[in-house]
């Protein structure tokens, strides 16, 4: 690394996950645009708070300038976040938040209510507002999935969904085989099931595969948060009508720009504005929450084009 | 008569008090290999990175493995007597959850530790009872209780996290228990020490003394070497094994309390997968999985080697899974060294 | 052999039948053909992995690296499919098997030649194999759309109402049965695990038997790696993580003794079936997901306790009256005729 | 005399720190039984293992029918026509009788598949040949020790070997089974096999052997036809000095009753065992193998606690639930199964000897190595344990020396009552004298001894009183001087009762 460069560590939940790889690519892109920044992209072997703390400790030991984290646990990372702050290291979270006490700002891809509402709206549109729906989530311990499910249930209270009851919530633990089995179980135990929402990239791809494999295309639809490269086939085959996600490349990109502003001494109090490079600006909200934008919706018309990118 | 016969037989063989000291034997001792490895780790790390030899960094590094290391002490004794406890991480979860609820009910920090240790004790007793009463292999029982204990945590906790703890309790886990104190001499100072590492140090000394110098320790070696003969020698084999499972539960409960204080939050996946890391520590420490062989010093050294290798690699930004590859390779390589020497000696002798 | 020996499998089969009947009575979906077929397909990998693990355990060993091996060899097979889509499917599967075999041979070599305890070797290679996936691909994964169509379609094809994974599992099971019961090498596993010293005195090479056992476990893991990756349409470092313990649990439920030398193909198949049913029945029965792990744990414990009861040796029957009542003499007479 | 079928010339073998064999030569002739004799650790079993391809000699040559052979594995030895019954039990408990007989050389059919039916048929033939009607499909774990032994013999025969080696085959057998075995040996001899027979019992050697080879400390010190030597000469050759051959009975005053056992019973193994044992008394317990002596005494010792009956020691009712209860009360038990129940092979001599009463060596909180060492040296020398040093692991000692260490362990507990279960099983003649002397001395010091032995001369030489057991019950009691070998064996087999 060039001497005098700033070092920003991007610490994600786990490696070998194309979503986070895309985020890191975005971060490197931003670093190139800004100049004078080195990105350290790393993660622990297991997606647990304990292991992530060890990785953050190693970054603190190196006295990096800033740390961007996708947290495995919101509260458990607070102490280590505070320790970093004490040693003059700026901490922010993206994707999956650290509780406010442990970081300066959190960049949400989109607002939680919006993400939740969006997914309910997507399945309602696909099903025409009629039919049983279930949720296939990641592990029951994952904070962002849980808060989206809360938001979905909030949206569900609206009268237009009265013919579209939520019948079950199951957990595939972000493992393909378990998600697949849970999906099969859902289909069998709820013969009238029409739709499934899966707010996780692993859940949605395994769920879609179970639909295709079970010859249920047209009978059951899945939606949720997925990656175009993984979902392309299933959209084309019809297991999935629409799904959403933000662009993870942009997500990493924006986070890096925000961190750059913080390192440059920009205030992070409520109401201050932080740059997201060519994505514009974001305004810091309550508890240091920032929002990148709206989730982007994919369907037959655009999925192939984006599949080439992420 | 035959009195002279026995008189004569006293002097028939000269039997030495102990084997003659040989350099090769000493060098091939497990602990010596580990010391060399430890020195190597420190030297290489401090050459590669200038932030390695920093007392605060090292103190932080110890807090990341001390809880596991505490459990490893009990696991070493279990493996020594040919048992194993794969449910330790699940016990940590169950204990941590109980602490979470007790904290929410407003219990004092001391009581939280008591709760953690108490729950651990119960879990350990459950394991011990299944293993000794039903005469089941411990690896099988604890694979079952591993699911059962963590499953119970999930049943009770669902998707919730427990995050309310009294501040003094959190301070125990998050601040240094002994503060850095410098003296007028630059190289003479009291380093900062986290509570968990301090407890590990004290326990390691206690375990080492009990195992290597007391009658109980000798009995454990006997059980590990031949449990049937040990029973015939009047050693309460099942009672001691039961006790070791309880001990393993207690250590897991204690580790659970320390971990909860350090994290300030717990979910049902806390400490997941620790069991294999702990077994790795014990095995690298030279405790034989076949029973009857091992030392606490070895386990202590292995804990430091593993912890510092891991820390050293992460400050060089090597990702977690790649670190695991090195650790796995290290484990096999180190265990192979004496065997390769033996083979070589055998070949040379054969020729 | 004698009915006495088979009693353990009988008990297990009985429990299984009762469980299926009870679940079926509670929810008829469970006993519909579609569900049973799905269940068998899902369990077929477990069948094969458990059988291979059984051979390892027979030699007093244990292989903790099977799941990591499955992930790595599945990943390599997927890479072949991604970069050389024109390679015939058979060769892709063969690649998976070959990689698995190689990894198994590494385990076997370390264990048999250097004499390192199996748990140590496989604990080490477990981390190494899984990490190799990250190193190999720089963190990339292979997605469904990147794998060949045929590559993914194969595990879904059905003949005579059964999918290919089921047929493969049946074939592998028969092979294992023939191998373990009708070959000298097969009986050698029992000898080496039952009494290693005695096996040595009988001219059976412990090292060779061990090497073979881990190689077999490796090759089967490779085959299952392909099936897994093709079935779930994704290959990356975390697939089948923690699966090794499920495989061992299946063996143990099936009555394979961790102490070595004891275990049958029938028992292991029943053990795998048992876990397969538990894993697939819980979602179908709409049991709260939070309960699933606890129930699985309780079931494993119950199964091993029952097994231990069934296996408990009768005391020595020295007193004539005890012998008259005892089973030993009766069984002896039966075996004699 | 026919040509030798097998010759061994200049064979040497060392283990780390031990020279087990040095320049040993011997030859075996068809139709003759060669006895291999020597003290514990003399190297007898090492020769057996070299002949069966388990160890490779460091130097020397093996010739079979004049042709030099190298045995890399037991298979090579079988191929050369050599089969052995080893000193260690070499059996697979979980497999069937037929598999035990044919493990390592199972018959295969044309497809390469194991021919189970053929294997069972051949097993049945072999077993019939030695009058042992054990069903070949029967699981081995359900056989008695004697039956297992027959299976081992059948296995040795299954190779169609010209040379059959038996390493202490009689150590675990009682008189009747030994007679059966000798019948088989005679039959093999008549069929033209060359037989190697290893035993520490001289009566057996003189009964069955034609030639002898004597080893001392790994070297051959004599050989020739057995008729050319007498027992005293053999012993001198073996030990290197004269040893008094008769088991001398020490006359000691018999004191008050120490132990009183009434109606000791459990459900399946023994019933109504009752006796009084006095200070200084040696009570013999005789019976066929499998008569339940071991089980009854293990019941007394708390291994498989009795279900009925009372045990009174020095007037105090005991309730013994575990060995530690028994040891605390002052009862010790030297088990018959050295490898599993007696010796802790991976621990050293010192650690073994002090194990049963560790409390005695504790100073403050810690074990005192010095105290342990004193006791180890005292007992080790007393029993003439042959070892390089007192820390040597038991695994590296010969079988007989292991047994001595196990006896030393129990003597170290200084009990009031000691039960010795086949204490001299596998012990050489010199050490046996030492053990016997020691037993006498213990009695002289006021210890009460129960001696289980399947060796009739031993019990008759040492015991003050003799109880014979059969099928889990006491059948007769004899007083010293008022017994004969015929009466005792008759009681043990049941022949006596039927005659009466
Ligand atoms: N595997 C081994 N490693 C080291 N030393 C050994 C080994 N096997 C035997 N020895 C040593 O070799 C010597 C000869 O042992 P061996 O077993 O042949 O004696 P033996 O004559 O059969 O005695 P016994 O009558 O007690 O059976 C002994 O000193 C023994 O300690
Ligand atoms: N039927 C059997 N099943 C399992 N193990 C047996 C059986 N018979 C004997 N054994 C084993 O062999 C050892 C010796 O038993 P043995 O047949 O000599 O009976 P015993 O009661 O010890 O004879 P004795 O009364 O002559 O001492 C026992 O310790 C036991 O473990
Ligand atoms: Mg011998
Ligand atoms: Mg006996």
Q: What is the ipTM of this complex?
A: 0.85
Does A contact C via 3+ CB–CB distances below 8 Å?
yes
Strands (E), chain A: 6-12, 37-43, 66-69, 90-94, 105-108, 132-137, 166-171, 193-198, 221-224, 243-245, 273-275, 281-283, 289-291, 296-298
The yes-or-no verdict on residue C322 having pLDDT over 80 is no
> Would you state the pLDDT for residue D244?
58
- Packing angle of the helix pair A49-61, B55-80 (nearest 10 deg): 140
The yes-or-no verdict on residue A1 having pLDDT over 60 is no
Alpha helices in chain C, H assignment, sequence order: 3-26, 33-58, 66-83, 89-112, 118-137, 149-153, 164-182, 184-194, 196-201, 206-232, 243-253, 265-284, 289-311, 320-325, 327-336
> Would you state the pLDDT for residue D495?
65
- Using the Cβ of C178 and the Cβ atoms of chain D, whether some distance falls under 8 Å is answered with yes
Alpha-carbon distance of D208 to C181, in angstroms, equals 42
Determine if ligand 2 sits within 6 Å of the CB of residue D291.
yes
- Using the Cβ of C135 and the Cβ atoms of chain B, whether some distance falls under 8 Å is answered with yes
Alpha carbon of A44: minimum distance to chain C alpha carbons (Å): 12
pLDDT digit string (tens) for B195-206? Answer: 999 999 999 999
Q: Which residues pair with D13 in a beta bridge?
A: D21
User: Which residue CA neighbors atom 29 of ligand 2 most closely?
Assistant: D337
Alpha carbon of A201: minimum distance to chain C alpha carbons (Å): 12
How large a percentage of chain D has pLDDT more than 70?
A: 96
The yes-or-no verdict on residue C333 having pLDDT over 70 is no
How many Cα atoms are found within 13 Å in the side-chain-facing hemisphere of D351? 28
Alpha-carbon distance of C75 to D67, in angstroms, equals 57
The DSSP result for C113-178, as a single string, is TT---HHHHHHHHHHHHHHHHHHHHTT--EEGGGS-HHHHHGGG-EETTEEHHHHHHHHHHHHHHH
- Chain B interface, mutation test: which of D355, D410, D419, most B Cβ atoms within 10 Å? D355
The yes-or-no verdict on residue D321 having pLDDT over 70 is yes
Alpha-carbon distance of D89 to D82, in angstroms, equals 18
> Would you state the pLDDT for residue C192?
94
Task: Give the mean pLDDT of D399-406.
Answer: 86
The yes-or-no verdict on residue A17 having pLDDT over 80 is no
Alpha helices in D106-216, H assignment, sequence order: 116-129, 145-158, 175-190, 202-208
pLDDT digit string (tens) for B90-104? Answer: 999 999 999 999 999
Residue pair A67/A102 in contact (Cβ under 8 Å)? The answer is: no
* Reported confidence tier of residue C37, pLDDT bands at 50, 70, 90: confident
Nearest CB partner across the interface for C248, out of B136, B143, B335: B143
pLDDT digit string (tens) for C67-109? Answer: 999 999 999 999 999 889 888 999 999 999 999 999 999 999 9
The pair of structure tokens assigned to B84 is 């194993």
* Reported confidence tier of residue D72, pLDDT bands at 50, 70, 90: confident
* Reported confidence tier of residue C7, pLDDT bands at 50, 70, 90: low
The DSSP result for A264-290, as a single string, is TT---STT-EEE-GGG-EEE--GGGEE
> Would you state the pLDDT for residue C176?
96
> Would you state the pLDDT for residue D461?
86
pLDDT digit string (tens) for D6-34? Answer: 999 999 998 876 788 999 999 999 999 99
CATH code given to domain B50-318: 1.10.3470
Task: Give the mean pLDDT of C273-283.
Answer: 83
Alpha helices in D319-418, H assignment, sequence order: 323-329, 349-353, 369-382, 399-411
Determine if ligand 1 sits within 6 Å of the CB of residue D42.
yes
* Reported confidence tier of residue B182, pLDDT bands at 50, 70, 90: confident
pLDDT digit string (tens) for C221-249? Answer: 999 999 999 988 888 888 888 899 889 98
Alpha-carbon distance of A133 to A199, in angstroms, equals 13
φ/ψ of A38, rounded to 5, equals -105, 135
* Reported confidence tier of residue B2, pLDDT bands at 50, 70, 90: very low
Beta-carbon count within 10 A of B305 CB: 24
In this structure, CATH architecture of domain D6-239 = 3-Layer(aba) Sandwich (3.40)
User: For residue C326, which residues of chain D lie inside 8 Å, CB to CB?
Assistant: 268
Task: Give the mean pLDDT of D335-363.
Answer: 91
Lowest mean pLDDT among A206-210, C163-167, D54-58, D140-144: D140-144
Determine if ligand 2 sits within 6 Å of the CB of residue D229.
no
The pair of structure tokens assigned to A232 is 């392309």
Alpha carbon of B202: minimum distance to chain C alpha carbons (Å): 28
> How much is the pTM?
0.87
Alpha-carbon distance of A27 to B43, in angstroms, equals 34
- Packing angle of the helix pair B320-350, B274-284 (nearest 10 deg): 30
Nearest CB partner across the interface for C29, out of A21, A189, A307: A189
Do B232 and D409 count as a contact with CB atoms less than 8 A apart? no
Q: If you average pLDDT over each of A166-180, A248-262, C309-323, which comes out highest?
A: A248-262
Alpha-carbon distance of D137 to C333, in angstroms, equals 11
pLDDT digit string (tens) for D179-208? Answer: 888 988 998 899 899 999 998 888 889 999
pLDDT digit string (tens) for A191-238? Answer: 899 999 999 988 999 999 999 988 899 999 999 999 998 899 899 999
Residues with CB under 5 A from ligand 3 (ion): D 45, 87, 399
Residue pair A261/A280 in contact (Cβ under 8 Å)? The answer is: no
Residue pair C164/C150 in contact (Cβ under 8 Å)? The answer is: no
Question: Average pLDDT, whole number, for chain C?
Answer: 85
Distance of CA D18 from the midpoint of ligand 3 (Å) = 15
Alpha helices in D368-428, H assignment, sequence order: 369-382, 399-411
Task: Give the mean pLDDT of B254-283.
Answer: 93
Alpha-carbon distance of A104 to B195, in angstroms, equals 28
Beta-carbon count within 10 A of C277 CB: 19
Question: Average pLDDT, whole number, for chain A?
Answer: 90
Q: Which residue has 């003290």 as its token pair? A: D39
> Would you state the pLDDT for residue B211?
96
For strands D59-64 and D219-225, give the pairing: unpaired
User: For residue C283, which residues of chain A lie inside 8 Å, CB to CB?
Assistant: 170, 181-182, 184-186, 189
Cα four-point dihedral sign C176, C180, C184, C189: positive
Helix/strand/coil percentages in chain A, nearest 5: 45, 20, 35
Q: Which chains touch C (3 or more CB pairs under 8 A)?
A: A, B, D
pLDDT digit string (tens) for D420-459? Answer: 998 887 777 777 777 888 788 888 888 899 999 888 888 8
Q: Please, what's the b/e burial string for D308-334 (b: 16 or more CB within 10 A of its CB; e: otherwise)?
A: ebebebeeeebebebbbbbbebbbbbb
> Would you state the pLDDT for residue C1?
40
Cα four-point dihedral sign C64, C67, C68, C72: positive
Alpha-carbon distance of B78 to B128, in angstroms, equals 11
Do B343 and C114 count as a contact with CB atoms less than 8 A apart? yes
The yes-or-no verdict on residue D231 having pLDDT over 90 is no
- Determine the Cα angle at D297 with ends D291 and D299, to 5°: 105
* Reported confidence tier of residue B184, pLDDT bands at 50, 70, 90: confident
Q: What 3-state DSSP class applies to A198? A: strand
Beta-carbon count within 10 A of B55 CB: 14
Determine if ligand 1 sits within 6 Å of the CB of residue D398.
yes
Nearest to A288 by CA among A143, A151, A71, A97: A97
Contacts of A285 (CB under 8 A, 6+ apart): A270, A291
pLDDT digit string (tens) for D274-304? Answer: 999 999 999 999 987 778 899 999 999 998 8
Residue pair B278/B88 in contact (Cβ under 8 Å)? The answer is: yes
The yes-or-no verdict on residue B3 having pLDDT over 50 is no
Nearest to C65 by CA among B79, B276, B282, B78: B276
- Nearest atom (ligand 2) to Cα of D146: 17
Q: What 3-state DSSP class applies to D311? A: strand
Alpha-carbon distance of D85 to B198, in angstroms, equals 58
What dihedral angle (degrees, nearest 10) is formed by the CA atoms of B198, B201, B207, B208?
Answer: -160
Task: Give the mean pLDDT of A27-43.
Answer: 93
Alpha-carbon distance of D170 to D204, in angstroms, equals 9
Question: Average pLDDT, whole number, for chain B?
Answer: 90
Determine if ligand 1 sits within 6 Å of the CB of residue D400.
yes
Residue B6, H or E segment: helix B3-10
Residue pair B75/B278 in contact (Cβ under 8 Å)? The answer is: yes
Q: What 3-state DSSP class applies to B208? A: helix
User: For residue B151, which residues of chain C lie inside 8 Å, CB to CB?
Assistant: 291-298
D324, closest residue in chain B (CA to CA)? B234
Strands (E), chain B: 176-178, 181-182, 189-190, 193-194
> Would you state the pLDDT for residue B98?
97
B318, closest residue in chain A (CA to CA)? A42
* Reported confidence tier of residue C49, pLDDT bands at 50, 70, 90: very high
Alpha carbon of C259: minimum distance to chain D alpha carbons (Å): 12
DSSP state of D427: -
Alpha-carbon distance of C299 to C292, in angstroms, equals 11
Q: Is A276 exposed, middle or buried (0-12, 13-18, 19+ CB in 10 A)?
A: buried
- Nearest atom (ligand 1) to Cα of D218: 14
Alpha-carbon distance of A220 to A213, in angstroms, equals 12
φ/ψ of D274, rounded to 5, equals -135, 135
In this structure, CATH architecture of domain D257-493 = 3-Layer(aba) Sandwich (3.40)
What's the CATH class of domain C2-335?
mainly alpha
Of residues B45 and B183, more confidently modeled: B45
What dihedral angle (degrees, nearest 10) is formed by the CA atoms of A195, A200, A204, A207?
Answer: -80
* Reported confidence tier of residue D241, pLDDT bands at 50, 70, 90: low
The yes-or-no verdict on residue B11 having pLDDT over 60 is no
> Would you state the pLDDT for residue D90?
82
User: For residue B134, which residues of chain C lie inside 8 Å, CB to CB?
Assistant: 305, 308
The yes-or-no verdict on residue C260 having pLDDT over 80 is yes
Contacts of D85 (CB under 8 A, 6+ apart): D152, D153, D155, D156, D164, D165, D166, D167, D169
Window D:99-118, CB contacts with C under 8 Å:
99, 103-106, 108, 112-114
* Reported confidence tier of residue A156, pLDDT bands at 50, 70, 90: very high
> Would you state the pLDDT for residue C325?
61
> Would you state the pLDDT for residue A258?
95
> Would you state the pLDDT for residue D111?
87
> Would you state the pLDDT for residue B335?
86
Task: Give the mean pLDDT of D113-129.
Answer: 91
- Using the Cβ of A60 and the Cβ atoms of chain B, whether some distance falls under 8 Å is answered with yes
φ/ψ of A190, rounded to 5, equals -125, 85
Residue pair A253/A227 in contact (Cβ under 8 Å)? The answer is: no
- Chain B interface, mutation test: which of C64, C120, C241, C246, most B Cβ atoms within 10 Å? C120
Domain with CATH 3.40.50.300 in chain D: 6-239, 257-493
How large a percentage of chain B has pLDDT more than 70?
A: 95
Of residues D249 and B130, more confidently modeled: B130
Q: If you average pLDDT over each of B150-159, C209-218, C255-264, which comes out highest?
A: C209-218
Question: Average pLDDT, whole number, for chain D?
Answer: 87
Window D:248-287, CB contacts with C under 8 Å:
267-271
Residue pair A89/A74 in contact (Cβ under 8 Å)? The answer is: no
The yes-or-no verdict on residue C314 having pLDDT over 60 is no
How large a percentage of chain C has pLDDT more than 70?
A: 90
> Would you state the pLDDT for residue B12?
57
Residue D469, H or E segment: strand D465-470
The yes-or-no verdict on residue C334 having pLDDT over 60 is no
Lowest mean pLDDT among B224-238, B292-306, D415-429: D415-429
Contacts of D444 (CB under 8 A, 6+ apart): D250, D252, D280
């Amino acid at each position: 690394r060039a001497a005098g460069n700033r070092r920003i560590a991007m610490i994600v939940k786990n490696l070998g996950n194309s979503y986070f790889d895309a985020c890191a690519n975005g971060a490197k892109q931003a670093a190139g645009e800004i100049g004078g920044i080195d990105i350290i992209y790393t993660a622990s072997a297991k997606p647990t708070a304990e292991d992530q703390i060890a990785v953050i400790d190693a970054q603190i030991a190196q006295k990096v300038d800033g740390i961007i984290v996708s947290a495995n646990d919101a509260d458990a990372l607070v102490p280590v976040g505070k320790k970093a702050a004490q040693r003059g290291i700026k901490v922010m979270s993206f994707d999956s938040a650290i509780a406010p006490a442990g970081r300066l700002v959190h960049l949400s891809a989109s607002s939680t209510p919006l993400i939740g509402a969006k997914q309910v709206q997507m399945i309602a549109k696909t099903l025409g507002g009629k039919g049983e729906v279930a949720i296939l989530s990641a592990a029951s311990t994952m904070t962002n999935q849980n808060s989206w499910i809360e938001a979905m249930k909030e949206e569900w209270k609206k009268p237009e969904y009265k013919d579209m009851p939520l019948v079950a919530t199951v957990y595939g633990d972000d493992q393909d085989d378990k998600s697949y089995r849970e999906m099969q179980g859902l289909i069998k135990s709820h013969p009238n099931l029409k739709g499934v929402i899966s707010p996780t990239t692993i859940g949605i791809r395994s769920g879609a595969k179970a639909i295709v494999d079970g010859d249920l295309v047209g009978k059951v639809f899945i939606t949720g948060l997925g990656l175009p490269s993984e979902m392309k086939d299933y959209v084309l085959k019809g297991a999935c009508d629409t799904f959403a996600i933000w662009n993870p490349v942009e997500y990493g990109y924006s986070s890096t720009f925000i961190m750059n502003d913080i390192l440059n001494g920009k205030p992070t109090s409520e109401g201050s504005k932080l740059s997201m490079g060519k994505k514009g600006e974001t305004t810091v909200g309550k508890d240091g929450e920032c929002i990148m934008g709206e989730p982007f919706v994919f369907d037959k018309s655009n999925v192939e084009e984006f599949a080439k990118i992420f | 008569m035959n009195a002279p016969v026995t008189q004569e037989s006293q002097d028939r063989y000269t039997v030495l008090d102990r084997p003659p000291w040989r350099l090769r034997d000493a060098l091939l001792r497990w602990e010596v290999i580990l010391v060399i490895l430890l020195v190597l780790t420190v030297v290489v790390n401090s050459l590669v990175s200038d932030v390695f030899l920093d007392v605060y960094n090292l103190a932080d590094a110890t807090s990341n493995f001390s809880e596991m290391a505490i459990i490893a002490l009990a696991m070493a004794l279990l493996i020594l007597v040919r048992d194993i406890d794969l449910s330790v991480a699940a016990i940590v979860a169950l204990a941590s959850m109980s602490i979470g609820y007790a904290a929410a009910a407003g219990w004092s920090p001391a009581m939280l530790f008591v709760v953690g240790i108490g729950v651990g004790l119960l879990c350990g007793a459950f394991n011990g009872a299944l293993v000794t009463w039903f005469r089941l292999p411990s690896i099988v029982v604890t694979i079952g209780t591993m699911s059962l204990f963590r499953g119970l945590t999930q049943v009770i906790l669902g998707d919730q996290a427990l995050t309310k703890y009294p501040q003094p309790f959190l301070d125990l886990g998050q601040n240094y228990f002994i503060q850095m104190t410098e003296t007028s001499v630059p190289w003479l100072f009291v380093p900062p020490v986290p509570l968990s590492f301090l407890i590990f140090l004290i326990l390691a000394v206690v375990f080492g003394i009990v195992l290597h110098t007391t009658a109980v320790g000798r009995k454990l070696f006997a059980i590990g070497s031949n449990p049937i003969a040990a029973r015939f020698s009047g050693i309460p084999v099942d009672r001691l094994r039961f006790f070791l499972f309880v001990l393993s539960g207690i250590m897991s409960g204690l580790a659970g309390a320390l971990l909860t204080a350090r994290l300030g939050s717990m979910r049902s996946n806390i400490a997941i997968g620790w069991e294999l890391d702990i077994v790795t520590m014990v095995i690298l420490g030279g405790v034989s999985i076949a029973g009857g062989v091992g030392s606490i010093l070895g386990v202590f050294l292995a804990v430091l080697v593993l912890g510092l290798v891991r820390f050293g690699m992460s400050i060089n930004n090597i990702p977690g899974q790649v670190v695991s590859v090195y650790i796995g390779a290290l484990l096999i390589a180190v265990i192979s060294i004496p065997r390769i020497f033996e083979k070589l000696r055998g070949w040379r002798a054969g020729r | 052999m004698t009915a006495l020996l088979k009693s353990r499998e009988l008990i297990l089969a009985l429990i299984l039948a009762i469980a299926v009947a009870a679940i079926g009575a509670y929810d008829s979906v469970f006993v519909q053909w579609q569900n049973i077929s799905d269940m068998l397909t899902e369990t077929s990998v477990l069948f094969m992995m458990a059988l291979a693990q059984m051979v390892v355990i027979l030699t007093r060993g244990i292989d903790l690296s099977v799941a990591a091996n499955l992930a790595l060899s599945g990943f390599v097979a997927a890479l072949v499919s991604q970069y050389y889509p024109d390679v015939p499917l058979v060769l892709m599967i063969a690649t998976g098997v070959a990689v698995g075999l190689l990894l198994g041979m590494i385990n076997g070599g370390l264990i048999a030649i250097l004499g390192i305890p199996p748990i140590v070797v496989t604990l080490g290679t477990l981390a190494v194999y899984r990490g190799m996936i990250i190193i190999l691909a720089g963190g990339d994964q292979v997605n469904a759309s990147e794998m060949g169509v045929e590559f993914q379609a194969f595990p879904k094809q059905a003949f005579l109402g059964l999918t290919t994974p089921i047929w493969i599992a049946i074939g592998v099971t028969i092979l294992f049965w023939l191998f373990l019961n009708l070959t000298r090498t097969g009986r050698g596993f029992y000898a080496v695990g039952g009494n290693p010293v005695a096996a040595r005195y009988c001219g059976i090479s412990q090292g060779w038997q061990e090497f073979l056992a881990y190689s077999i476990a490796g090759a089967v893991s490779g085959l299952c790696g392909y099936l897994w990756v093709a079935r779930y349409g994704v290959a990356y470092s975390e697939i089948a993580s923690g699966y090794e313990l499920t495989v061992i649990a299946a063996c143990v439920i099936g009555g394979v003794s961790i102490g070595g030398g004891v275990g049958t193909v029938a028992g292991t198949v029943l053990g795998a079936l048992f876990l397969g049913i538990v894993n697939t029945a819980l979602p179908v029965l709409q049991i709260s997901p939070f309960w699933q792990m606890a129930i699985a744990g309780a079931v494993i414990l119950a199964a091993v306790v029952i097994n231990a009861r069934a296996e408990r040796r009768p005391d020595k029957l020295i007193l004539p009256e005890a012998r008259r009542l005892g089973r030993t003499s009766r069984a002896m007479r039966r075996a004699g005729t | 005399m026919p040509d030798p079928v097998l010759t061994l010339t200049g064979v040497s073998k060392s283990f780390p720190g031990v020279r087990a064999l040095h320049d040993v030569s011997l030859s075996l002739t068809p139709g003759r039984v060669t006895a291999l004799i020597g003290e514990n650790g003399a190297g007898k079993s090492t020769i057996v293992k070299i002949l069966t391809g388990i160890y490779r000699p460091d130097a020397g040559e093996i010739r079979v029918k004049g042709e030099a052979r190298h045995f890399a594995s037991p298979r090579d030895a079988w191929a050369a026509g050599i089969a052995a019954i080893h000193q260690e039990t070499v059996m697979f408990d979980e497999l069937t009788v037929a598999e035990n007989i044919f493990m390592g050389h199972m018959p295969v059919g044309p497809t390469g598949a194991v021919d189970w039916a053929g294997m069972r048929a051949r097993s049945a033939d072999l077993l019939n040949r030695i009058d042992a009607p054990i069903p070949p499909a029967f699981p081995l774990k359900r056989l008695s020790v004697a039956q297992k032994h027959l299976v081992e013999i059948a296995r040795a025969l299954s190779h169609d070997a010209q040379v059959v080696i038996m390493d202490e085959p009689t150590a675990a057998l009682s008189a009747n089974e030994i007679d059966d075995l000798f019948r088989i040996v005679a039959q093999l001899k008549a069929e033209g096999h060359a037989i190697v027979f290893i035993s520490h019992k001289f009566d057996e050697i003189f009964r069955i052997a034609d030639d002898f080879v004597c080893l001392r400390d790994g070297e051959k010190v004599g050989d020739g036809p057995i008729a050319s030597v007498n027992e005293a000469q053999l012993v001198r050759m073996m030990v290197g000095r004269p040893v008094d051959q008769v088991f001398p009975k020490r006359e000691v005053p018999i004191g008050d009753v120490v132990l009183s056992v009434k109606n000791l019973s459990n459900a399946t193994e023994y019933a109504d065992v009752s006796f009084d044992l006095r200070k200084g008394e040696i009570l013999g317990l005789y019976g066929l193998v499998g008569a339940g002596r071991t089980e009854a005494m293990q019941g007394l010792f708390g291994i498989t606690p009795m279900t009925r009956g009372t045990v009174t020691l020095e007037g105090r009712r005991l309730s013994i639930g575990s060995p530690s209860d028994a040891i605390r009360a002052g009862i010790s038990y030297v088990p018959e199964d050295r490898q599993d129940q007696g010796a802790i092979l991976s621990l050293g001599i010192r650690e073994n000897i002090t194990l049963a009463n560790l409390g005695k060596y504790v100073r403050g909180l810690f074990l005192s190595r010095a105290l342990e060492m004193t006791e180890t040296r005292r007992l080790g020398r007393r029993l003439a344990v042959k070892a390089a040093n007192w820390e040597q692991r038991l695994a590296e000692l010969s079988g007989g020396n292991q047994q001595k260490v196990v006896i030393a362990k129990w003597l170290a507990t200084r009990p009031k009552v000691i039960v010795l279960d086949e204490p001299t099983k596998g012990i050489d003649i010199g050490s046996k004298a030492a053990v016997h002397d020691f037993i006498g001395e213990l009695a002289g010091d006021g210890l009460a001894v129960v001696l289980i032995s399947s060796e009739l001369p031993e019990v008759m030489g040492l015991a003050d009183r003799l109880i014979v057991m059969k099928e889990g019950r006491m059948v007769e009691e004899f007083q010293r001087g008022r017994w004969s070998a015929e009466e005792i064996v008759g009681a043990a087999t049941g022949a006596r009762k039927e005659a009466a």
